[in-house]
């Protein structure tokens, strides 16, 4: 997923950029409103600071929204409630106040992307992964070749998390935080047990590669019968 980051504050932008890269996002970083509006590479979501050196971020928000429906998340140091309301009225999809954590920003990106899906996809049904696996996130149901797979609640949560960004390397810490507990410091053996269960139950549809010393990477199995 490609993120256009519009932020003139270098330390803020750098830490956000590094955090997003770590989670598998691609990041294009610009520091002015003019550069944001002139950016020509395609992107999937915009993170837009309101306090820019050349223009008011709210004007950039309005201009971006007039051009299309790419999701916009406004980030601001202004604690003013009016900014939030005006930003949303001008077409922003969500809003985060500084200071914020990378995880919070990522959660919001995922949420706005999920909401944005129906705009571009004709049918908002279960998510398809390759030819064999579907995940119905509303009903929390997983099907393999059309047959429902019985997963324990944490197995489902783990699969749901890892399939948000197929191919992205997730560290053990990120997974433990997201799936088990926000403040997990203990051993992560339970994670290995759940990974093993998913590999067994979804064999052939996905692979979960262990990256030694780091974490795991889920890949969707390629179609073997491409006809």
Residues that bind Ca ion (CB under 5 A): 8-9, 49, 51
Report in angstroms how near the CB of residue 91 gets to Ca ion at its nearest: 20
Report in angstroms how near the CB of residue 73 gets to Ca ion at its nearest: 15
Residues 161, 133: Cα–Cα separation, whole Å: 15
CA atoms within 13 A on the CB side of 95: 22
Residues 227, 221: Cα–Cα separation, whole Å: 16
Query: In terms of CB distance, is 9 or 177 closer to Ca ion?
Result: 9
Report in angstroms how near the CB of residue 37 gets to Ca ion at its nearest: 16
Query: In terms of CB distance, is 49 or 155 closer to Ca ion?
Result: 49
Query: Cα dist. 40→16, 30, 34, 43, 127 in Å?
Result: 22, 12, 12, 9, 30
Report in angstroms how near the CB of residue 8 gets to Ca ion at its nearest: 5
For residue 81, whether the previous peptide bond is cis, meaning omega lies within 30 degrees of 0, is: no
Query: In terms of CB distance, is 90 or 191 closer to Ca ion?
Result: 90
Report in angstroms how near the CB of residue 71 gets to Ca ion at its nearest: 20
Residues 162, 217: Cα–Cα separation, whole Å: 8
Residues 57, 41: Cα–Cα separation, whole Å: 20
Residues 197, 191: Cα–Cα separation, whole Å: 10
Query: In terms of CB distance, is 47 or 191 closer to Ca ion?
Result: 47
Query: In terms of CB distance, is 51 or 91 closer to Ca ion?
Result: 51
């Amino acid at each position: 997923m490609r993120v256009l980051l519009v932020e003139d504050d270098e330390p803020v932008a750098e830490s956000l950029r590094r955090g997003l890269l770590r989670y598998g996002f691609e990041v294009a970083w610009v520091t002015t409103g003019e550069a944001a509006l002139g950016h020509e590479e395609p992107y999937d979501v915009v993170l837009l600071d309101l306090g820019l050196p050349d223009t008011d971020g709210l004007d950039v928000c309005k201009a971006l929204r007039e051009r299309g429906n790419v999701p916009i998340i406004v980030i601001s140091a202004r604690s003013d409630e009016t900014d939030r309301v005006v930003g949303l009225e001008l077409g922003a999809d969500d809003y985060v106040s500084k200071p914020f954590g990378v995880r919070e920003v990522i959660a919001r990106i995922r949420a706005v992307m999920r909401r944005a899906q129906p705009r571009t996809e004709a049918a908002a049904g279960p998510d398809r992964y390759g030819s064999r696996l579907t995940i119905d996130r509303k009903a929390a149901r997983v099907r393999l070749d059309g047959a429902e797979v019985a997963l324990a609640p944490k197995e489902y949560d783990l699969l749901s998390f890892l399939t948000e960004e197929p191919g992205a390397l997730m560290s053990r810490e990120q997974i433990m935080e997201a799936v088990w507990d926000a403040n997990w410091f203990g051993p992560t053996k339970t994670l290995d047990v759940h990974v093993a269960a998913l590999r067994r139950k979804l064999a052939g549809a996905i692979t979960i590669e262990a990256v030694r010393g780091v974490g795991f990477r889920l890949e969707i199995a390629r179609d073997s019968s491409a006809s």
